[in-house]
Structure 1
């Protein structure tokens, strides 16, 4: 078994078994849950780059070695952090309404969550370990589609497609800073003097109609079109 396999095994054991008890000399009042909470607080305040076992130990007022009696290392800590924030107050199937209303609600909730906590998007690719909260969410998302008549394969594909769309749009919104009004005016004035828009007739037509690139609610438009497509798969009575 390689080093990566060993990390995966340890991480999954931590996620699915009771928190490992310290081998010796436990720090009074220190718990795995408390370590995870402190780590989340740290990245919320200072960003993911600040995360290290040493910094988390400082936040807790203990020696770094004390953390290693509860968690093997940073990779396992990151996986526990992700699972700790995997659930909202309302699970997908608990939202009111039909399947579409439930999917809309969970998508919007996740969208706001990713934008509020961008470090989750940074970690999710690095620590793809399914923990109890992540599995509970997936089960709930599938339950939201129970009355659709979709096959099990299609239900899973719907959940994965909507989740991928939300994450992709959240990453795009975080990577693209919207200019303020003054910046927009200065940019547009500069471009008007540099570009002959008659070379781009389709874009010119949009601009003349008052449509500016990337000014609309891209998330909501795309979500509705995605759901429209899903609706065509649902058998009608």
Structure 2
């Protein structure tokens, strides 16, 4: 899938749109559209058809309008993409959970995972230059609060949040791809596994790969598949938080 990039529009126009400071049309007929309505239509297209299908023309069709009409409200696709991202980040519940920093950071990871699973197209938008809108800022504030006051420097706090978000992005992308392969092949992981194992046992020189054979067989028997995305996510998140805990402990001992 084609990669899109946030923050690639005109900075002034994008920020005006994100913070709703962009002047609205004053000439011509009474405005028939709103920025919010355009964003909602763009999200419907992206959620159902993927981000590559999201174009100004496609969004206009979704609204029963002409593409040129949209430009009265939104400068272009790049700026629209920024507002789409900022809007969906606003769906994060930002739950207040009891417990220490680990419980809070765990919640940050799970909320981001839920959001990616709801809007898989987000996995194909690079956000190294994030849209600096109100919801992005609120998300960052919430995530930093999970590690505030635990002994990390500001740079380490930012890096920890980035590490968690990066882990979630990779883990969810693998999970989404695992689901998509089932849809495309019409075969569940269990069906795929059971179809291959007899032939592998008959053809492969498994004696040359004792570790692969033992571990792979154990995993296959455990999950009826060569991979389980939920288990992988839980295991990986646990180990990541263990690493942060070691850093926090080191800081406390200094």
* TM-score, scaled relative to structure 1: 0.87
Could you say if the C-alpha distance between residues 55 and 33 of structure 1 is closer, same or farther in structure 2, counting changes exceeding 3 Å?
same
Q: Distance in 2 between matches of 1:56 and 1:48?
A: 11
Matched, 1:181 2:184: no
Preserved contact between residue 92 and residue 115 of structure 2 (Cα < 8 Å): no
Q: Which secondary structure does the structure 2 equivalent of 1:231 belong to?
A: helix
1:75 to 74, 78, 91: 78
Q: Distance in 1 between matches of 2:81 and 2:197?
A: 43
Structure 1 residue 17: Cα displacement: 4.5
Q: Does 1 or 2 have the higher relative contact order (CA < 8 Å, sep 6+)?
A: 2
Q: Distance in 2 between matches of 1:89 and 1:7?
A: 27
Q: Distance in 1 between matches of 2:157 and 2:80?
A: 32
Structure 1 residue 223: Cα displacement: 0.3
Structure 1 residue 89: Cα displacement: 4.3
Q: Distance in 2 between matches of 1:127 and 1:60?
A: 29
Q: Distance in 2 between matches of 1:49 and 1:197?
A: 43
Could you say if the C-alpha distance between residues 147 and 61 of structure 1 is closer, same or farther in structure 2, counting changes exceeding 3 Å?
same
Preserved contact between residue 26 and residue 69 of structure 1 (Cα < 8 Å): no
Preserved contact between residue 21 and residue 70 of structure 1 (Cα < 8 Å): yes
Could you say if the C-alpha distance between residues 31 and 114 of structure 1 is closer, same or farther in structure 2, counting changes exceeding 3 Å?
same
- Which moves more between the two structures, 95-104 or 83-92? 83-92
Preserved contact between residue 82 and residue 124 of structure 1 (Cα < 8 Å): no
Preserved contact between residue 15 and residue 133 of structure 2 (Cα < 8 Å): yes
Q: Distance in 1 between matches of 2:133 and 2:18?
A: 5
Aligned residue number for residue 63 of structure 1: 66
Aligned residue number for residue 224 of structure 1: 238
CA RMSD of aligned residues (A): 2.4
- Which moves more between the two structures, 25-34 or 185-194? 25-34
Matches within 5 A, 1:82-121: 82-91=85-94, 94-121=96-123
Q: Distance in 2 between matches of 1:6 and 1:30?
A: 21
Give the number of aligned pairs. Answer: 232
